[in-house]
Amino acid sequence: MAAGLAEGADTSCPWGRVDWSAPWLAPWRAVGEPLAQQVQRGLPVSQALGGPHAAAAPVGFAPQAELPEGMAYEQFIFEARRVPTRDNLHDFFNGLVWRQFPQTKRRLNQLQAEAIARDGVGAVRGPLRDAITVFDENGAVLAAPPALWTALAARQWQRLFVELRPLWREARLVLFGHALLEKLASPRKSIVAHVYPAPAAMNSIADLDAWLAGDVQPAAWAAKPFAPLPVLGVPGWWPANEAPGFYDDAGVFRPPRAQALP
């Protein structure tokens, strides 16, 4: 279960709100916590992310001012291989995902850039760009027994989290979206991830990255093949979900949408 913030942490500072002992940050802590400490000491986020251990990332990190006026953010990254970065948690976590999931981030950026080159930048994104943006900002990957996936897809929350609770010991949920990671700096029950299914045999983040980058296919992703998951309902992720009635909150654990009549 999530531990408290470190003793003496400055919660008035956005970096001080990040609880690196939280279960959802377990895959990110070894890389992310030392970088966050550098930023807390005054180093710009772009410099911290682009430090000596960033060789695996297929991009560099630049101050936001390097983005030319009128140029699409995704297009600039694809062409310049540099990510415009502000000094905030949102962009810090984005850079952290680039470092941990370099192949997947590069694939998503490639598809965004190709869509921009083909269709231009309009007031409304097309289905593929919209889906990529949803996952890039708020996505997660879940490797789980089939019974859990069936319950999740059907939004059978009591079955998913109560009846099948022991099966969660066989599941692994890895957060991907940088906005999702940012939101969890101030955890609240209503935070929902857009979850994509992964095979069980993922032994490391590197394995997961290689698989996910190869699995992103435009036609399938344009249909948004994601399932909504209130992440603080995951067993072991939040002490409150041990309490009776936690999953009865229909404002968070919403029932399936009614099917339209033919």
Binned at pLDDT 50, 70 and 90, residue 4 comes out as very low
**Lowest-pLDDT range, 123-132, 137-146, 168-177?**
123-132
Judged against a pLDDT cut of 90, whether residue 202 lies above it is answered with: no
Judged against a pLDDT cut of 90, whether residue 122 lies above it is answered with: no
Task: Show the domain range for 174.
Answer: 19-238
Could you tell me what percent of the chain has a pLDDT over 70?
90
Residue 227 lies in a domain: yes
What are residue 62's phi and psi, to 5 degrees?
-125, 155
pLDDT at 13: 60
Q: What is the mean pLDDT of the chain?
A: 89
**Lowest-pLDDT range, 54-68, 112-126, 210-224?**
112-126
Q: Which residue has the higher pLDDT, 140 or 6?
A: 140
Total structural domains in the chain? 1
Residue 2 lies in a domain: no
CB atoms within 10 A of CB 170: 12
Residue 124 lies in a domain: yes
Judged against a pLDDT cut of 50, whether residue 206 lies above it is answered with: yes
pTM of the shown model: 0.90
Residue 261 lies in a domain: no
Residue 95 lies in a domain: yes
